[in-house]
Amino acid sequence: MSWYLGRLCGFDLETTGINVEADRIVTACIVQCGGGAPVQSATWMADPGVEIPEGAAKVHGITTERARAEGRPAAEVDEQLVAALAEVVLAGTPVVAMNASFDLTILDREARRHGVQPLVDIVGKDLRVVDPLVLDKHIDRYRAGRRTLTHLCRTYGTRLDAAHSADGDALGACRVAWCIAQQYAEIGSIGLDVLHEQQIEWAREQAESLAEHFRSTPGKEHQADGVRVEWPLLPAQRQAGDR
């Protein structure tokens, strides 16, 4: 059976910002769908322990005051997220995440920040990820326009419920991944292990292309050095004293 016809696990975070090394989780969703079984969704709201910038709050709708009043301790949320994802991964279900290297890296850094065992240390090489953004850039490299989840849902003819909410985006990512796999045999007909490895290479090529674009664009040359090629997780930097 093709991988996309089985169970999929959508994963999405809304955060205090876009710096994977410094920003924090505000809301999260893990949704399991497909495979002929009912949708199962779990959501979290965390008190990130820092101020939520106004710009971020405008995107996902969660203010500092609301997070403090309704959110659970960040360490508790991190631990539960890692445990839930580990269970899914070890059951052989692929994690579907739009721009996966952002969400998985944020979760990794939050886990390390709060003394929670990181997901990668639990599941090791069993992690299989499907990233609609990487897939879309591979199959339609030269399409003009933006490639947000909202735009990809329109491109592939599927709906997005409550954009910029963790639960809406997690399910939307699964729908886009399913549509791409159904429409493009080169994605849907290969095994999940092969697809994961190919995405590592595709993501590297896409990042290198972006860096080259920055280097050749006046005024943007400095951005090239900040482009990371690793996928689906940016490795944590070793700290002084680490063995």
* Kind plus residue range of the DSSP H or E element containing 9: strand 7-15
- Residues 119-133 have pLDDT tens digits of 999 999 999 999 999
pLDDT band at 240; cut points 50, 70, 90: very low
**The model's pTM:** 0.95
Residue that is written with structure tokens 């991944």 in the block: 177
**DSSP conformation class of 130:** E
pLDDT value for 1: 84
Domains of the chain, by residue range, sit at: 3-191
Cis status, amide bond into 73, omega within 30 of 0:
no
Give the mean model confidence (pLDDT) for residues 207-224: 97
pLDDT value for 131: 98
By C-alpha distance, which of 134, 132, 117, 149 is closest to 231?
134
Give 61-67's long-range contacts (Cβ < 8 A, gap of 24+): 61/164, 61/165, 62/14, 62/26, 62/27, 67/26
C-alpha 160/C-alpha 179 separation (Å) is 13
C-alpha 57/C-alpha 115 separation (Å) is 27
pLDDT value for 237: 78
pLDDT value for 158: 96
* Mean pLDDT of all residues belonging to the chain: 96
Residue 242 predicted with pLDDT over 60: no
pLDDT value for 165: 86
Q: Is 150 helix (H, G, I), strand (E, B) or coil?
A: helix
User: In the chain, what percentage of residues exceed pLDDT 90?
Assistant: 94
C-alpha 173/C-alpha 97 separation (Å) is 6
C-alpha 187/C-alpha 134 separation (Å) is 11
Residue 243 predicted with pLDDT over 80: no
Amino acid found at 211:
A
C-alpha 21/C-alpha 170 separation (Å) is 22
Residue 127 token pair: 């992690």
C-alpha 105/C-alpha 110 separation (Å) is 8
CA distances from 52 to 97, 117, 124 (A): 23, 25, 32
- Between helix 100-113 and helix 74-90 the angle, nearest 10°, is 130
- Residues 183-197 have pLDDT tens digits of 999 999 999 999 999
pLDDT value for 160: 94
- Residues 171-182 have pLDDT tens digits of 999 999 999 999
Please state which CATH number belongs to domain 3-191. 3.30.420.10
SS3 for 27-89 is EEEEEEEECCCCCEEEEEEEECCCCCCHHHHHHHCCCHHHHHHHCEEHHHHHHHHHHHHHHHH
Give the mean model confidence (pLDDT) for residues 133-159: 97
Please tell me which residue, 1 or 5, carries the higher pLDDT value.
5
Give the mean model confidence (pLDDT) for residues 81-110: 98
User: In the chain, what percentage of residues exceed pLDDT 70?
Assistant: 98
Residue 145 predicted with pLDDT over 60: yes
- Residues 19-62 have pLDDT tens digits of 999 999 999 999 999 999 999 999 999 999 999 999 999 999 99
pLDDT value for 162: 80
Give the mean model confidence (pLDDT) for residues 209-226: 96
Residue 238 predicted with pLDDT over 70: no
